[in-house]
Amino acid sequence: MVLHTMSRTVVLGVIGSDAHVVGITILEQAFRQAGLTVINLGVQSSQTEFAEAATQHDADAVLVSSLYGHAEQDCQGFHETLEAHGVDALTYIGGNLAVGQNDFEETRRTFQELGFDRVFDAETTPEDAIAALERDLRISTTANERATVTT
């Protein structure tokens, strides 16, 4: 899947004390292949680092990844931090967001209440995330662009 040639920028990183890197590395590669400009903050990124990167790069979306199950505590006040830095961007979060997560819909509601536009579980594919970005950013591909995609 290739996004329309209009350049879109996303900030991607792992928040708080979480140190998993595989997920964001896969997402970074898929997003770049789809035509996005990716600012990868890496692991153990603070809320302020996300906000500063989003401001500096005029990001269209901020994507937070967490795998260790403590994302709720890491994301308390996240949207207030973004707002304080003047960030006006979509916010996504995904991964294993809660320890002992039995009902993902409950987890989804928790993060929507924290202000996230989209909440993904750990089984979400990069293609699903790209499709969500296309819809949310209203990016369309032409038939010719779709025909040139190699997977």
From 20, 57, 79, 85, the catalytic residue: 20
- Spatial strand order of the sheet with 118-121 comes to 37-40, 9-14, 61-66, 90-95, 118-121
> Does the annotation count 57 as an active-site position?
no
**Closest by Cα among 66, 132, 64 to 101:** 66
d(CA 83, CA 91): 12
**Closest by Cα among 58, 34, 26 to 140:** 34
Structure-block tokens of residue 9: 């920028």
> Does the annotation count 74 as an active-site position?
no
Annotated active-site positions, please?
18, 20
